[in-house]
Amino acid sequence: MNDKLTPYINPEGKIIAYPGKKHRALRPLIYAALMTHFEKGVIYNEPQVNHILLTWILFEDYVSLRRELVDTGLLSRTSDCRKYWVTDTQGQQTTSDPANPR
């Protein structure tokens, strides 16, 4: 693990704090750690995404974190926020949005 993340991730790999504005540059490393718990090609509903986040974070604001994963393009979701999936590294969907196929 990156030494800079020691204040944010415990030895079990759970995120204990979210980097504030001063340490904003560490946020992508936190996102990358979380994304290891999502599988490409799998469609998740919102409760499943919440469960994964709540399993791996030890702070309350999973809603903002879920939004950050979408806003940064790591997760994609349908416009009604009912289905989520991993976006590939080039920013493309790894699976079609079942509600709105392209």
Q: In this structure, are residues 19 and 30 in contact, taking their beta carbons and an 8 Å threshold?
A: yes
Retrieve residue 30's tokens.
């936190």
Residue 13 per-residue DSSP state: S
At residue 77, the pLDDT reads 97
Contact between 43 and 83 (Cβ < 8 Å): yes
| Strand partners for 77 | 84
pLDDT of residue 102: 37
**Cα–Cα distance for residue pair 97/16, rounded to 1 Å:** 32
What are the residue ranges in the chain where pLDDT is below 50? 91, 94-95, 98, 101-102
Q: How many residues does the chain have?
A: 102
pTM of the complete model: 0.82
